[in-house]
Structure 1
Amino acid sequence: MVDFRFSFYRLFGAISFAISALPLWGQVWGQDSINSVQPDSTVRLESVVVSAHRAGTLLSSSTLLKTETITSAGLMKMACCNLSESFENSASAHVAYTDAVSGAKQIQLLGLAGIYTQTLAENIPVLRGLASTYGWSYIPSPWLESIQISKGVSSVVNGYEAIAGQINLEFRKPNTGEPLYADIYADDLLHIEENVAARLRLGEKLWTALMLHGTQSLHPASFAKRHDKNKDHFLDAPKTQNINLYNRWFYLDEERGIQSRTGIEFVYDDRQAGQDSTCHDVGNGIPLFESPIRNIGLTVYNKTGISIGDKLGTSLGIINNFTRHEQHSAFGRKTFNGVQNTYYANILYTSFISTTDHRYTVGASFSADRYHTEFQDTLEYNQTPLTALNRTEIVPGAFAEYTFSGIEKLTVVGGFRADYNSRYGWLFTPRANVKYDISEYMVVRVSAGRGFRSANVIAENIGLLASSRKFDLSQIDDLDIERAWNFGGNLVFYIPIWNGRRATLSLDYFHTRFQNQAIADTERDRNAVYFYNLNGRSYANAWQADLSLNIVRGLDLFAAFRFNNNRITYREGNQWYEMEKALTTSSRGLLNLSYATALKRWVFDITAQLNGQSRLPKLNGYSSQERHAPAYPVYFVQITKNSKRFDIYLGGENVLDYKQKNPITGWENPFQRDFDASMIWGPLVGRKIYFGFRLRLGELI
């Protein structure tokens, strides 16, 4: 008796299929058992259509790194309008607000801020520098095929910036999927989003796709109370207008072994946050605290892959990417404006030595970042003049990576890269990953390696602008590059249960230790923020356990618990103070139940989260009493009615209406010293009811 599994060989997005015979225990979370197939050599198949229940989250046993994949089905479990809202069902990643004014959100992985997680768009680094602040909301979830989350150090091929892990985004392809897709989303706060995605074949070798996105938040005067539920005279969420256009091209010449992907993306995002006349009494003599924020982005890229000779698995890849990002923002009397131009190139050659048990990748990369930023604070008791914070970094580098798979069930990957940063000098990055299949029921993985990143301290701490704190920039030119080591591993058990089904149990542990870190110190003085290099210890420990199983046909359960221990050292003169990192959730529990009727005509999803305590920043110096924000629950529900071409859904977020009380300190007069909207640990908006529909059509021509 033989089972069949599809294996995929991917080169820059192209996929071919091979069928191999092997014993099969379900390889992904939530997968139903698969009946064995007896092949008949006398039967010739013209085509094969594979149809199966697809889980929202997949965990492959074959990947070198433990990779949690959020599928398109997983993205539809909730109204994931954009990337920042796509991790509510993920046990690994957590997204939280940076402040109570701008609506900016930041991801956390392994208990560390999202700036330590490298984000890739189909293996091109994105959301760097100025775009790291609001960029998570610029990527519409309906444009995505999947999100892949891996923890710990990864390949040296993509650069030295991954410290906590990687998040890779796979977008809709010009040559696959439905030719025309459209959706509309609306909620009870009059926030409306629209998406259209169309693809077209232009010949035997050329395809194109166009994706459009629009967002508009309507704030009529009659809805003023609904946009300021806590009555602090600040909008609970900003007025938003967003336009995003993405044009993709795909060229494939199978005879010559060439494929090429080209894309151009434009983003315009306008936010009006803070106070406006609909929620604030301008007759009290205090001017409005207004926060206009505008971001404009342009990205152009090309990825080309060329098969070399007749050796399977030998290829040359070339990546070129240019990004320009402009940001103009004001928070009351503070302003921060900037322009970032980035060019990135990567060339890599992949082949093997003698046999495919000894594979290698060698290559070279080049990146150039040029920042022109300005900061000013005209508050009468701060008076920071217009300060230019310009920086240019040019980084050529080279890398090599070797993969050994000559011993059954064992895969070892070792890599090393050397880069010369024009600002910080030589940077050497060793990384190693090992995977061993102990049995068909158990897989162990371990990893270790180093990472670096350049800090953009104001852009990465944008939430602190929503306060009356004075920014001490006296040491900003002395900031060194951030350096850290990451060690960890995971153990995955595939446990047979009943009716051919199985449960998946995953246990993780990762330790990150910084050799240097750019510190944004809000603990020394409640009226200031200080930036300086780490002088002492800074580390993070992250433990996680996941359990997934398909209980009966159509009913999936996913449960997880994560615990973080993140500590950092602050300095004042000759005194050092080590303490728990503030505003970092110490633990998180997650439970998701999903039920689908036959043919997925109806889908019901319920998600419960329990977010643990987090330490609040101290108000009167390092030695003052510690305060902690409470643990809190958040619940999500959604019902979806599916048909062949049309889906409609209705759902609720934060259905018990839990909100952080008094998120803005000193809101009565936002131009006094005690004003602070940056101490955010919980939800700000409260309950939200939404509905929407999705439309899929066949071939256009």
Structure 2
Amino acid sequence: MKSKLTFLLLIISLQVKAQVLSGTVVDSRSGESLPGATVRVQGKDKAVFTDGRGRFSLTTTDSLATYPLIVSYTGYDNDMLTDQPAGAVTIRLKPQQGLDEVVVTGTLKPVSRAESPIPVEIFTPKFFKKNPSPSLFDAVGMINGVRPQLNCNVCNTGDIHINGMEGPYTLVLIDGMPIVSALSTVYGLSGIPNSIVERLEVVKGPAASLYGSEAMGGIINVITRSPQNAPRFSVDLMATSWQEYNTDLSFKARMGKVQTLLGVSYYNYQQPYDRNHDGFTDVTLQNRISVFNKWDFTRIDNRVASIAARYVYEDRWGGQMDWSRAWRGSDSIYGESIYTSRWELIGQYQLPLKEKIMTQFSVIGHHQDSYYGTVPFLADQKVAFAQLYWDKQWGRHSLLAGASFRYTYYNDNTPGTATVSGEDAPSRTPLPGVFIQDEWSLHRRHKLLLGYRFDYDRVHHAIHSPRLAYKWSPDDRNTLRASFGTGFRVVNLFTEDHAALTGARKVEIEEALKPERSYNSNLNYVLQLPLGNNFINVDATAFYSYFTNKITGDYNTDPNKILYRNLSGHAISQGISLNLSMTFSIPLHIMAGATYMDVYQMNRDAGSGLMVRSNQLFAPKWSGNYAITYTLPYRWIIDLTGQLNGPMRLPLQKDDYRPEYSPLYCLANIQLTKKIGSGLELYGGVKNLLNFVPKETFMRPFDPFDKQVNDPVSNPKGYTFDTEYNYAPLQGIRGFAGIRYMLR
């Protein structure tokens, strides 16, 4: 009887001591609930997740003074609860300011963004959702100093400009692997499912000491989600009033020790519009599908092993409104039609050794079947890349040493891959290289980075690429970075310049082209300024790049030709960029940036022998971006975003009546989002709110084959059909609406 009574008293005692803790986890500034946040007992194997409204309930017999609650959520600082609250508690988590995020692009190894001696900018899908786009190519226009440039009004071919430098100077990576070179600049970002993207890392300026050829103007590294951290299922459906339709979905699965993530993106636009009444489609019609599949393998000691594959197919055309496939390649109705088929295989594997030795590889195949009017462009490219590097921590030194090999096969139907007699001569370019890097922590506040790379090209021989960077943090709020680096590019002209392919002008190469070189320096300053419950982050950079052997296209000497040669002088890209991020105690967040740049070249005039300055085409003197977010009650969010561009120089014909510089313009957008339950969002808004559309973009659109170009009565100045005068999309104001769902 006594033992039974003791047992009963023990049960009652435990029930008395048991605590039921309940509450809600919210954003400290916007008040928005945070579904899926983790509430766990420190030191115990006990945790719960918040529901769709951010609510939780946890039963525990432990004292919070001994075993406090830890509340965590991705993108927010952790919070700790140590006292028993009276009734339900509201836990307010503060958003992280981003400086403690891990980056890999600047140094090829994971490092805290705050500790990196190389300035790296990070952008997550949450940022790009403020102005949803069907591809990352369009989305990166929201980044200060990064500009997606459409190079043709007919086929909408484009590239990515960083600090005013043309697309071939921008290296695009997926998970650190170079997946874009020459032929596929635009396809590196247009066919990546947004649902599988974890973040974008952007480095501005040359980085050849780590990444070799093409990393002259900057790097965009697309970091994909790990299957382990990705949601179980996500879908994003969007449509516009121009009858554009986009589907983006992903799901993950586990099969034993293998986790897989599948992403699919499909974009369809088949309704031709001619709102500016020039007889041509305003926007290229497209049918694009992209499939991405990634596998992660569980290994001993958490060693890395992953492989991913991507396939992109696109059918794109633009031209006269009555064009159809029956007119492809004919001289009756003008059209530009591009079929693209591209596949990629990338992977990385950590060797089963005590030392950290990583192997990485990528294999790419790209086929393009195009017609620009009557001119065909048929091209095949295959690129194989392999890299091995050793990562070693030795005292205050973080060492990195490795070797890489890139092999590029390229063939097309242009003179670029033909002998003097006209026989087919595909380009085969092996490019081996070795590199070494040392991050030296001189002091808690001082860090020095030294790097060097050696590449050997059989045509250009030895190529040396040194690198130097220094970081000084006098306190926790101020950081100063200074860096110097070099870049080089082994050139394949026809694959990089759309103007050479359109058939509107004849291409002439006046000399044997030499490899381009660049020398870059920049000074970066970051200030973190907490003001009570408000926070301001200032990021300012001054940059200077000097280019030699720069390849230029001369559009002015002969309106019927593009003349290519190495610059008999030098080119300069210099300027200042400023980024501001402001978070307030009210549910308001403002991100704004502005870049002023002076991009020009000095070329020796053949007649006078004097150096003549000319401003870079399609490089605005200044540009800006903004994203303003305000959270309303009942989980409504309003986003106002925009891009501003100052005047930029445009290619003209002789005695051209069109202005040489574009006007100042702004592409503004507004979006309203409603969050419903757990993981469901409805959104809609208006793009190009100010309805800005360029004027007089085509020359003689009524005679695209130049059949009447020599008529002295109707064309006394000899103008020819030309599509290169382009500085902004021809798509006017349009509405959009969509739905997102994410199952964690």
Question: Could you tell me the TM-score, scaled by structure 2's length?
Answer: 0.80
1:264: how far off? Answer: 1.4
1:242: how far off? Answer: 0.9
Cα distance in 2 for partners of 1:369, 1:144 equals: 27
| 1:641 partnered with 2:674 | yes
Q: 1:570 to 1:134 in 2, by over 3 A?
A: farther
1:125: how far off? Answer: 0.9
Instruction: Provide the alpha-carbon RMSD of the alignment.
Output: 2.8
Cα distance in 2 for partners of 1:327, 1:467 equals: 16
Cα distance in 1 for partners of 2:176, 2:151 equals: 27
Equivalent residue number for residue 703 of structure 2: 669
Q: 1:684 to 1:697 in 2, by over 3 A?
A: same
| 1:391 partnered with 2:436 | no
Equivalent residue number for residue 289 of structure 1: 334
1:547: how far off? Answer: 1.9
| 1:43 partnered with 2:67 | yes
* Preserved contact between residue 208 and residue 216 of structure 2 (Cα < 8 Å): no
Q: 1:495 to 1:387 in 2, by over 3 A?
A: farther
| 1:456 partnered with 2:492 | yes
Which structure would you say has the larger RCO, counting Cα contacts within 8 Å and 6 or more residues apart? 1
Q: 1:46 to 1:559 in 2, by over 3 A?
A: closer
Cα distance in 1 for partners of 2:296, 2:430 equals: 30
Q: 1:681 to 1:188 in 2, by over 3 A?
A: same
* Preserved contact between residue 184 and residue 195 of structure 1 (Cα < 8 Å): yes
| Amino acid paired to 1:547 | L
Equivalent residue number for residue 437 of structure 1: 473
Q: Following TM superposition, where does structure 1 have runs of at least 4 consecutive aligned residues deviating by more than 4 angstroms? A: 44-51, 53-60, 384-389
Which of 642, 651, 663 is the equivalent residue of 1:608? 642
Equivalent residue number for residue 239 of structure 1: 285
Say how many residue pairs are matched.
632
The within-5 A match list for 1:257-336 is: 257-277=302-322, 287-306=332-351, 308-309=353-354, 314-336=355-377
Equivalent residue number for residue 259 of structure 2: 207
Q: Secondary structure at the match of 2:700?
A: coil
1:332: how far off? Answer: 0.5
Which of 331, 336, 340 is the equivalent residue of 2:381? 340
The within-5 A match list for 1:93-108 is: 93-108=146-161
Q: Secondary structure at the match of 1:84?
A: helix
Q: 1:464 to 1:125 in 2, by over 3 A?
A: same
Equivalent residue number for residue 10 of structure 1: none
| 1:583 partnered with 2:618 | yes
* Preserved contact between residue 80 and residue 141 of structure 1 (Cα < 8 Å): no
1:494: how far off? Answer: 1.6
Equivalent residue number for residue 530 of structure 1: 563
Cα distance in 1 for partners of 2:95, 2:147 equals: 20
CA distances 1:478-522 after superposition (whole Å, capped 9, x unpaired)? 11111111111111112232x232211222111111121121221
1:372: how far off? Answer: 0.6
1:368: how far off? Answer: 0.2
| Amino acid paired to 2:400 | T
Q: Secondary structure at the match of 1:156?
A: helix
| 1:550 partnered with 2:583 | yes
| Amino acid paired to 1:366 | F
Equivalent residue number for residue 415 of structure 1: 451
Q: Secondary structure at the match of 1:456?
A: coil
CA distances 1:540-571 after superposition (whole Å, capped 9, x unpaired)? 11211122211234211122221110112456
| Amino acid paired to 2:66 | T
Q: Secondary structure at the match of 1:579?
A: strand
| Amino acid paired to 1:273 | G
Cα distance in 2 for partners of 1:57, 1:453 equals: 36
Cα distance in 2 for partners of 1:142, 1:149 equals: 19
Cα distance in 1 for partners of 2:195, 2:70 equals: 33
Q: 1:616 to 1:154 in 2, by over 3 A?
A: closer
1:339: how far off? Answer: 0.4
* Preserved contact between residue 208 and residue 453 of structure 2 (Cα < 8 Å): no
1:621: how far off? Answer: 9.0
| 1:678 partnered with 2:678 | no
Equivalent residue number for residue 248 of structure 1: 294
Q: 1:679 to 1:522 in 2, by over 3 A?
A: same
Equivalent residue number for residue 506 of structure 1: 539
Cα distance in 2 for partners of 1:288, 1:107 equals: 31
Q: 1:626 to 1:695 in 2, by over 3 A?
A: closer
* Preserved contact between residue 133 and residue 462 of structure 1 (Cα < 8 Å): no
Q: 1:484 to 1:391 in 2, by over 3 A?
A: same
| Amino acid paired to 2:359 | I
CA distances 1:522-549 after superposition (whole Å, capped 9, x unpaired)? 1222221011112112111121112221
* Preserved contact between residue 237 and residue 248 of structure 2 (Cα < 8 Å): yes
| Amino acid paired to 1:121 | I
Equivalent residue number for residue 210 of structure 2: 157
| 1:115 partnered with 2:115 | no
1:58: how far off? Answer: 4.3
Which of 509, 512, 516 is the equivalent residue of 1:482? 516
Q: 1:561 to 1:387 in 2, by over 3 A?
A: farther
| Amino acid paired to 2:125 | S
Cα distance in 2 for partners of 1:135, 1:319 equals: 19
| Amino acid paired to 2:341 | I
| Amino acid paired to 1:228 | D
Cα distance in 2 for partners of 1:692, 1:389 equals: 49
Gaps of 5+ in 2: 1-62, 77-92, 100-112, 710-719
* Preserved contact between residue 54 and residue 73 of structure 1 (Cα < 8 Å): no
Cα distance in 2 for partners of 1:611, 1:392 equals: 40
* Preserved contact between residue 449 and residue 486 of structure 1 (Cα < 8 Å): yes
1:596: how far off? Answer: 2.2
Q: 1:133 to 1:210 in 2, by over 3 A?
A: closer
* Preserved contact between residue 208 and residue 488 of structure 2 (Cα < 8 Å): no
Cα distance in 2 for partners of 1:44, 1:504 equals: 32
Equivalent residue number for residue 401 of structure 1: 437
| Amino acid paired to 2:705 | F
Cα distance in 2 for partners of 1:54, 1:688 equals: 36
| 1:146 partnered with 2:199 | yes
Equivalent residue number for residue 125 of structure 1: 178
Q: 1:361 to 1:51 in 2, by over 3 A?
A: closer
CA distances 1:170-219 after superposition (whole Å, capped 9, x unpaired)? 1122111211111211111111111221111112x310111112111122
CA distances 1:563-592 after superposition (whole Å, capped 9, x unpaired)? 110112456645553211122111112232
1:156: how far off? Answer: 2.8
| 1:632 partnered with 2:665 | yes
Percent sequence identity over aligned pairs = 23
Q: 1:421 to 1:50 in 2, by over 3 A?
A: closer
Question: Could you tell me the TM-score, scaled by structure 1's length?
Answer: 0.85
Q: Secondary structure at the match of 1:79?
A: coil
Q: Secondary structure at the match of 1:64?
A: coil
| Amino acid paired to 1:317 | M
* Preserved contact between residue 596 and residue 602 of structure 1 (Cα < 8 Å): yes
Q: 1:54 to 1:528 in 2, by over 3 A?
A: farther
Task: State which structure, 1 or 2, has the greater radius of gyration over its C-alpha atoms.
Answer: 2
1:686: how far off? Answer: 1.3
CA distances 1:240-272 after superposition (whole Å, capped 9, x unpaired)? 1111111111012134x5220111111111112
Gaps of 5+ in 1: 1-38, 378-383
1:56: how far off? Answer: 11
1:80: how far off? Answer: 2.2
